[in-house]
Amino acid sequence: MIKTANRIANVEEYYFSKKLAEVRTLDTGAVRVINLGIGSPDQAPSENAIEALIASAKNPANHGYQNYKGIPAFRKAIADFYMKTYNTSLDPESMILPLMGSKEGIMHISMAFVNEGEEVLIPNPGYPTYSSVANLVGARLRPYDLKEELNWGIDAETLKRSDLSKVKLMWINFPHMPTGRTASRKE
């Protein structure tokens, strides 16, 4: 048996993987469970979508690797969305990188910027992937509490009073996972 790398010794099974297994044990013939926790479709795509996929698969221009930065028109559409929604100008060539999902982005950012022993501020409650990836890159986890009395907001005053000299990265996400809370413009 090949020994795994030391860095994964403390990596645990993904939180949502465990939760989905628990949900499956509750789903019996007598009691049906409708899982609202993951966005997996329960119906086939429309016939038009299937035909478009078939036509795309038959197009020889689509038989190569995708541009590693994604389709230029898609990146431009993202930039246009940010301008329209947030009045923020983004360069589609240098500031937008489409990903397969959040876990990929969290891993890439952490691998690129966080050195072993540096601290990563992680919201509590927060997305479990932040902790998993910080552990994987050898960072020190430093949870910061989201306060119920602040409507699950960040207690910026407490953070300002603490020593942040070893912090390399702070994870913030809105709408917040798992509370669903959105940030105010002031935040």
Beta 167-170 vs 119-124: how paired, if at all? parallel
Please indicate, yes or no, whether residues 108 and 150 belong to a single structural domain of this protein: yes
Question: pTM for the complete prediction?
Answer: 0.70
| Residue length of the chain | 187
For the chain, how many structural domains are there in total?
2
Please indicate, yes or no, whether residues 108 and 88 belong to a single structural domain of this protein: no
Question: 47 lies in a domain?
Answer: no
Residue (of 113, 118, 152, 111) closest to 133 by Cα position: 111
Is 107 in a helix, a strand, or coil?
helix
Report pLDDT digits (tens) over 23-45: 888 888 788 887 776 666 778 89
Look at residue 183 in the predicted model and tell me its pLDDT: 85
State which residues form the domain around 89. Answer: 65-98
Please indicate, yes or no, whether residues 157 and 131 belong to a single structural domain of this protein: yes
Please indicate, yes or no, whether residues 88 and 142 belong to a single structural domain of this protein: no
Report pLDDT digits (tens) over 42-64: 788 999 999 999 999 999 988 88
Q: Which residues in 122-137 are b (16+ Cβ under 10 Å) and which e?
A: bbeebbbbbbbbbbbb
Question: 35 lies in a domain?
Answer: no
Low-confidence ranges of the chain (pLDDT < 70): 10, 37-40
Question: What CA–CA distance (Å, rounded) separates 97 from 99?
Answer: 6
Give the end of a domain, one of 98, 122, 152: 98
